[in-house]
Structure 1
């Protein structure tokens, strides 16, 4: 990591998103979330006090800035060479989070961890000197009590900081070259997905989601649905419908009204029979008049499977519908018809990359196994 230019960019982006009075005057003056660089003597003094040589990426970070403000959304201040210290000495109560069965001869993450964070929202950042790679980097961890999950491991301090930077983008969505670069990557991933390169597209979209790119979530949800990864897809659809995330115009987009909404209604009916909370039911909790009106308006359309919506454009819909009428009890025949019709499928909108409406019909959904869903996704679908 070439720390200074990257941290300068981070600082500039943060400043553009700050509320009046939120920034330290020094940050406003210097346009820098960091502090003066530590000297080599200051780093050596810290290492002597701690009894270890610090890992390369963290050491170079300190030689760029001796501490840091506002790392991500929940770390307000990081320690410097005079305050960095062992977690067991500074905040020993975090050891309760460690599974004692994982205790090794040299302790665990917490008893040997080096605490990096100073002011946070009920969390910590720390390095583990007992987990070192071939280049001398220590594993890094973040943990926040309100997340109610184990510490998140990163291979190095650099990787931890990159994750915190992505979190900042996800929460504040600053304009600039980072946002624009990820939007370009999302567009390339969309084209790749339509060309059948689903694995490469999925990896890019997942990382773009880390940076808060909503379009990536819209696209990736479709890939997960056709892959029959229901839980992950449901999590993304629930996020898309949450008021704090809902993309502008999404509820009126044909991708939602004609593809995703029919699927969500079918999932809602199945959820009612199985006694579980559906994505649609979750989206209607609280004051959500727009969602509730949309559900009430469309419920008559989707009351019977295969009716009230089309499976896609007419050239694709017609042979699929004919096959369903002719072979309602023959999944293999239905799958053969779907596969034969796929070259005629066309997206309804620019962000439509997969025939999700097929999954809104239980008869057709049963014919699309995970393997067949992958075959659909890996078959080029470009016009």
Structure 2
């Protein structure tokens, strides 16, 4: 995953379509310093969950990551800012609960953890499994996307971001 994040950083900074912090431009890196194991464990304890391995790996590479496409992709939060969506945007869940046909999505939104997009147009969500040892779900979710935009994992998401950057 680190190679993909590094390539995203290099291409985005080279394209120069967005303003990045001077230290990001110098380092050619849109990420932060890695999270410590203690920071990850504190976030997990606060939320009462154990993060999936790929998200833990991401945090150990970078504790947050600036979006290379402000209006298309979310920025990823530091471990200390990760929260349940129901605590950040309860109105969104309420809106989806009002339509019986969308109740399955609303139930997943109520369980989801927002790891990216705080204060932005779209979120990146981790949805814990209901059954132990089942797979986590990974969604990009925005009002302008007709429903959830699922990914097979965090690295898969970042590969898609990289492909989008390369095609721009």
**TM-score bin, normalised by smaller chain:** 0.7 to 0.9
Corresponding residue for 1:125?
A: 124
Contact 1:137 1:155 in 2 (8 A): no
Deviations along 1:15-34, one digit per CA (max 9) or x if unpaired, are 11014x71211211221000
Match of 2:28 in 1: 31
Find 2:152's aligned residue among 145, 155, 174: 155
Deviation at 1:76, TM superposition (A): 4.9
Query: Where does the alignment leave 5 or more consecutive residues of structure 2 unmatched?
Result: none
Cα distance in 1 between the residues matched to 2:162 and 2:119: 15
The residue aligned with 1:44 is 41
**In structure 1, what is the equivalent of residue 139 of structure 2?**
141
Q: What corresponds to 2:107 in structure 1?
A: 108
The alignment covers a number of residue pairs equal to 164
Q: Deviations over 1:295-343 (max 9, x none)?
A: xxxxxxxxxxxxxxxxxxxxxxxxxxxxxxxxxxxxxxxxxxxxxxxxx
Note the C-alpha offset of 1:49: 0.5
Q: Is the 8 A contact 2:4 2:162 kept in 1?
A: no
Q: Kindly state the Cα deviation for residue 141 of structure 1 after the two structures are TM-superposed.
A: 0.6
Matches within 5 A, 1:228-307: none
Which residue of 2 is the match for residue 78 of structure 1? 76
Rounded Cα–Cα distance in structure 1 between residues aligned with 2:85 and 2:118: 14
Gaps of 5+ in 1: 173-383
**Highest CA radius of gyration, 1 or 2?**
1
> Which structure has the higher relative contact order (CA within 8 Å, separation 6+)?
2
Residue matched to 1:299: none
Q: CA RMSD in A?
A: 2.5
What is the correspondence of 1:1-383 to structure 2 with a 5 Å cutoff?
3-19=1-17, 22-73=19-70, 74-95=72-93, 96-97=95-96, 99-101=99-101, 103=103, 108-119=107-118, 121-130=120-129, 137-147=135-145, 149-170=146-167, 172=168
Distance in 2 (CA, whole Å) between partners of 1:58 and 1:100 is: 32
Q: TM-score, normalised by structure 2?
A: 0.84
Classify 1:81/1:154 alpha carbon distance in 2 versus 1 (closer, same or farther; 3 Å). same
